Amino acid sequence: GAVVSQHPSWVICKSGTSVKIECRSLDFQATTMFWYRQFPKQSLMLMATSNEGSKATYEQGVEKDKFLINHASLTLSTLTVTSAHPEDSSFYICSAMERDRIGYTEAFFGQGTRLTVV
Amino acid sequence: AQSVTQLDSHVSVSEGTPVLLRCNYSSSYSPSLFWYVQHPNKGLQLLLKYTSAATLVKGINGFEAEFKKSETSFHLTKPSAHMSDAAEYFCVVSASWYSSASKIIFGSGTRLSIRP
């Protein structure tokens, strides 16, 4: 199946700094990618939908100036957590939908990034 | 709009007995439905998917699910539980086929425990 690579797998940063997380579709073109946040023992909450070449669509309650999303190419989307604080510590996962000639087929997920802000 | 409800936050069964994890969905469009499994500190793995073909879908590791439009359900079953099945299971809905408005929405998850 298709592969989505997410980097880094874990990161520790100081409060007030910014962290960039990359999500790449390795063997297919992903016009749409999704970013999720998962708190311990909880489900994945959709943060935003990233569309190649246009602005991301954020879910209600997600600060777009806090979580900057860029989808500059068909294989790369980035999430930047700006001025990170301890409450931003979480597990972040990206996803991309593979599309065939008919439509969407399957969602593929990155390995996730565990962010710890100290 | 799409939403998905997993009716049980925790299911516990004995090894060798059947497993039933319940999922109900809501979608304005014809849905695509998925079941994913997440083992502790691991990523997500696709178990099976429904995309408007056969209503009974067979997946990996002996799991299967039946799409019932009249009940808006997509319950996951397995005839005989194995210790390695212990994990968190997520029911996922997406608007089917070619929809630029499609989102991938996760249910709240069901933790499956297996008793020896």
Q: What integer pLDDT is reported at residue A117 of this predicted model?
A: 96
Nearest-Cα distance to chain B for A48, in Å, is 9
Q: What is the pLDDT of residues B40-63, one digit of tens each?
A: 877 788 899 887 778 899 999 999
Contacts of A34 in chain B (CB under 8 A): 103-104
Contacts of A111 in chain B (CB under 8 A): 43
B29 DSSP assignment: S
- Given CB atoms, is A44 within the 8 Å cutoff of chain B? yes
Which residue from A1, A95, A103 is facing B97, i.e. has the nearest CB? A103
Which CA distances in Å does B48 have to A56, B27, B59, B66, B85?
A: 29, 19, 4, 11, 15
What does the alpha-carbon distance between residue B39 and residue B45 come to, in Å, rounded to a whole number? 9
Higher pLDDT: B73 or A43? It is: B73
Closest residue of A to B105, CA-based?
A46
What would the mean pLDDT of A14-26 be, rounded to a whole number?
95
Q: What integer pLDDT is reported at residue B99 of this predicted model?
A: 53
Higher pLDDT: B64 or A108? It is: B64
Q: Which residues pair with B32 in a beta bridge?
A: B94
Identify which of A73, A77, A95, A86 has the alpha carbon closest to the alpha carbon of residue A115.
A86
Q: Do A104 and B32 touch (CB under 8 A)?
A: yes
Q: Which residues pair with B13 in a beta bridge?
A: B114
Examine the pLDDT at B9 and tell me if it is beyond 70.
Answer: yes
What would the mean pLDDT of A40-46 be, rounded to a whole number?
85
What would the mean pLDDT of A103-110 be, rounded to a whole number?
73
What would the mean pLDDT of A27-50 be, rounded to a whole number?
87
Contacts of B94 in chain A (CB under 8 A): 97, 104, 107
